[in-house]
Chains A and B, each alone.
Chain A
Amino acid sequence: MTRFVVRRLLHALVVLVGVSIVVFLLLHLLPGGPARAILGFRANRANVAAFDAKYGLSQPLPVQYFVWVGQLMHGNLGFSYKQNQSVDSLLASNIPRTLILVGAATALALVVAIPMGTYQALRRNRLDDYLLTAMAFIFYSMPTFFIGIVLIVLLSDVLPFFPSTGPTATAPLSSQLANLVLPVLSLMLVTLALFSRYMRSAALENLIQDYVRTANAKGVPQVRVLFLHVLPNALLPIITLVGLSLPGILSGAVIIEALFNYPGMGLLFWTAAQNDDFPVLLGTTMVVGVAVVVGSLLADVLYAVVDPRIRYS
């Protein structure tokens, strides 16, 4: 078990280094060089020279990389001149809201997808299976923002149940729960389609196994077979699936936040892109990359804890 964890940890570290190299290279892809990109393209030479000196931009690239990584380790993600705030303070105020959005959407998607997929497996190839499959297919093929738009029209315009914009940053979230509904619902529906398809095939794979036949032959009640035998086995790959879908869910969060004006990390990123606020863009990319690597590492380790077959392969 320790060997597995160590190996997986090393892999994650290498990928993390890779992510940092990618972000660092992006920094230097900026047109006109980092100094001009961050200070503005019309910055005068004196300012550019001062910027270069301050951030050591005339040193060889590998040296700059290690200096930059050192800064990262200290939690210094850069400074946004456009918003006159350090990147980490901007992220610190916005990330929690995105975590709520992503967390709620993923949790809800799982809560609905697991029973739905199991139900589909039990009633496979009958009408309700086909209908639910068709529904999953359609949701899977819809652009995230289109689902959001349809929900806005249905639940905010035609039937004015929920407000159509996300919560504002000024008031605490707990007072604006109604504003959370549509964003979370939109993000949830997209991941729901993927999870339920996966759950269905996982449950199906287990239902045709011999041990289920044995259990049935022994006279074990169906419910017990389901909850004690089929479900635990079927749920295992879902753990990895959640880890794998993290990047996709985060991408979806960006779109949903843009659509609903939801004050989270995604909206921060998008506005920064429109304002050419590169420090924010780079800092956010780095944070998101780290989050995904850590998330999939946790998912893989959890999977190994729960499924002994993985540890010994």
Chain B
Amino acid sequence: MMSLPSAIEQVGSSPVEDGEPESRARVSRLMARVFAENKLAVIGVFGVVLLFLFCFVGPLLYHTNQVQTDIPISNQGPSIAHFLGTDSAGFDILGRLMQGGQVTLLVGISVALLATSLGVIWGAAAGFVGGLLDTLMMRVVDSLLAIPSLFLLIFLDSIFRPTAPMLVVVIASLAWLVPARLVRAETLSLRSRPYVDSARGMGAGTARIILRHIIPNVFGTVMVNATFQVADAILTVAALSFLGMGIPPPGANWGGMLSDGVTYVFAGYWWQIFPAGVCIVGVVVAFNFIGDGLRDVFEVRLRRR
């Protein structure tokens, strides 16, 4: 039974890559243990699970009408009938939080998945092939990164009518840049490893090496970045919704709820503002905790951006 310091050391050198015969099950248990020791990361996981239950199971237990407006009961404070009050269209806030949460979480995770996949392929290809192709591909990334994303997002949003899937595509179309950079950097260091040479010697083509050897070994970096991507995507959706460029009504969305609530900030309708805000902060903090925990597990010095 290994002592913990040497266990962590082994985890630190990205255990699955060095070609040593370490069983995957043992490595996974080690990683799970390092993760579990990070209290904040565990809290993050609980938080995310709770939020998922709240958003997806909640509506089954707490029925509200989120489609038909009900003006007579609008702008009421928290009560027995409506635990968190109603908004300006008469929707129940708590129910709307659940529904908005579904959209927010789904969009965030979809963006992370799409952006990470694109970014990994782009970065691995650029880093592995090298030379002129690498320079070209990375200049594209640099050029797109130079323009603040919100400007591009607002521009794209004003052209394409925003629906949830369209929003996912638009946000992902800029979010893939960061994983691309990270994966390229990792690939540069990985392509000189012995197993790449052996694969070449056995006749593996470039595509096969990239897919079967490089990409699985950047897993740690990619996982950490993906969790932060979810958090960033949720913040971006919230910001876009706040600017009126998110999902159009009657679709619910936490950012949109904040934006609607702000118009009444001086009327004192705090229930229209703070619950949605707390939810956004909560989910982003949870994913940030998880990302930090994963970063400790893979123990590589990563920059978030």
Contacts and interface: CB of A to CB of B under 8 A. Distances in A.
Interface residues of B, number: 42
Given A157-B266, A247-B148, A145 B139 contact: no
A136 to B, nearest CB: 11
B154 A269 contact: yes
Contact of B155 (A11, A142, A285): A285
A143 B146 contact: no
A130 B266 CA distance: 34
B139 A15 contact: yes
B272 to A, nearest CB: 11
B285 A141 contact: yes
A255 B154 CA distance: 11
A137 B288 contact: yes
B49 interface: no
Contact of A292 (B147, B158, B159): B147
Interface string B245-281: 1000000000100110010011010100100010011
Interface stretch (A19-27, A79-87, A105-113, A172-180): A19-27
A141 B281 contact: yes
Contact of A22 (B143, B235, B238): B143
Interface stretch (A48-56, A63-71, A213-221, A273-281): A273-281
Contacts of B143: 15, 17-19, 21-22, 289
B150 A251 contact: yes
Contact of A273 (B142, B157, B242): B157
Contacts of B280: 142-143, 146
Contacts of B242: 143, 145, 255, 258-259
Contacts, number: 137
Contacts of A258: 242-243
Nearest to B150: A251
B273 A288 contact: no
A306 interface: no
B151 to A, nearest CB: 5
A30 interface: yes
Interface residues of A, number: 51
B244 A274 contact: yes
Main SS of chain B's interface residues? Answer: helix
Interface string A118-154: 0000000000000000000110111111100110110
Contacts of B231: 141
A292 B148 CA distance: 8
A152 B268 CA distance: 12
Contact of A26 (B155, B244, B270, B273): B155
Nearest to B273: A149
Interface string A1-44: 00000000001001101110111001001110000000000000
A244 interface: yes
Contacts of A281: 154-155, 158
A250 interface: yes
A274 B235 CA distance: 21
B166 to A, nearest CB: 14
A270 interface: yes
B159 A138 contact: no
Given A22-B147, A146-B277, A258-B242, 11 more contacts: A14-B142, A18-B139, A18-B144, A19-B147, A146-B280, A149-B258, A251-B151, A255-B243, A285-B147, A285-B151, A296-B146
8 contacts: A141-B281, A145-B242, A146-B277, A149-B277, A153-B270, A247-B147, A254-B148, A285-B151
